[in-house]
Amino acid sequence: MVWKYLSIAFIVIALSVGGVWVAHGTNIYTKDKVPVITKDEMFGTESTEWKPEFHLGLEFAGPIMAASLIITFFSFRKYKKSLLK
Amino acid sequence: MFLKNLTITISIFLIATVFVLNAGTGLGNGKSGGKKIALNNKVGSNQIKFFSKAPGEDIEGTANGISGNFTLDPSNLEATNGSVTVEVKSMETGSGSRDAHMYSEPWLNEKGFPKITLQIKGMKNVKNVKYDASSGKATANATVFGDFTLHGITTHMEAEITLTYINESDKTKARALGDFVMVTVNFNVHLLEHKILGKAGVVGDKVAEVVNLQASFFGNVQ
């Protein structure tokens, strides 16, 4: 029975991390800052400043999702085998 | 007597023609003489934005560590010259780990080549000169040319610029003393021309071969 819950838990983790990655803009690299545009009234130009804000990238999301899916796969296999016994 | 007068007239005409042909394009704001301009963040935020559009990823970043000065004659824009230096370490893309890659070899190699320089040698094709006496603001478009050094390799560069010259006023004094000058520049950098090879397969896939730079330089007359 523990394999069933383990596989459910890790598929939820994989889907959650994937969802966060998509919601954060499907970046390859994790971003720790986002651009904020400010306008100079005298010259009419725009400049960019950086504000701290976390956006999960594939560099971290990818390995977490891959590991979670592998654990899910083997847990589910164990669960199926335990049902046959 | 007639021949003498004719010779003098023709000589004066020729001298005047040569003078007019050699004279540069002015901003029409009544200012003249070479003015030394130092880049100053109190005048405006000196910044270069860079854009890489590749099939795998779009990257947008900025560089703020900019210093430099140039000489500009408002009555002869073609004679403009000077230099601008950018600290590689001031470049950022919003991702600390990506920035670390960008500073390293085989990318910009910040330790070996910590500065990017733009040596301005002159201007040409000055056009769209406008002066508004009420605001004391003059603008012009031109092509600036000179040498661009990145990753230790210097290439000839030409770029379209917009020049804005603002006479000193109570409004400008709130930021800094002297007349203000702003130059916006738009040009492309070919990474391979500067031997920025990157990791195998990355340039052209996740990083564009041609990176677009949009610079805004602000300075005041010293």
- Domain extent listing, chain B: 25-221
For tokens 């594939």, what's the residue? A58
Pinpoint the alpha helices (H) of chain B.
Answer: 2-22, 96-103, 170-173
Give the chain B residue nearest A28 (alpha carbons). B57
Instruction: Tell me whether residues A47 and B97 touch, CB distance under 8 A.
Output: no
pLDDT in tens, A18-58: 999 999 998 888 999 999 999 998 999 999 999 999 999 99
B166 Cβ under 8 Å from any chain A Cβ: yes
Instruction: Tell me whether residues A34 and B94 touch, CB distance under 8 A.
Output: yes
Q: How far apart are CA B149 and CA B154, in angstroms?
A: 4
- Domain extent listing, chain A: 2-84
Residue B20: its pLDDT value, please?
Answer: 47
pLDDT in tens, B94-140: 999 899 999 999 999 999 999 999 999 999 999 999 999 999 999 99
pLDDT, one tens digit for every residue, chain B (222 residues) = 666 776 777 666 555 554 444 568 999 888 889 999 999 999 999 999 999 999 988 899 999 999 999 999 999 999 999 999 999 999 999 999 899 999 999 999 999 999 999 999 999 999 999 999 999 999 999 999 999 999 999 999 999 999 999 999 999 999 999 999 999 999 999 999 999 998 888 888 889 999 999 999 999 999
Residue B21: its pLDDT value, please?
Answer: 47
Residue partners of B137: CB distance under 8 A and separation at least 6: B131, B164, B165, B166, B167
Residue type, A47: S
Homologous superfamily (CATH) of B25-221 is Lipid/polyisoprenoid-binding, YceI-like (2.40.128.110)
| Closest by Cβ to A47, choosing from B45, B60, B180 | B45
Share of chain B above pLDDT 90, in %: 78
Q: Quick one: tokens of B208? A: 């564009």
How distant is the Cα of A23 from the closest Cα of chain B, in angstroms? 16
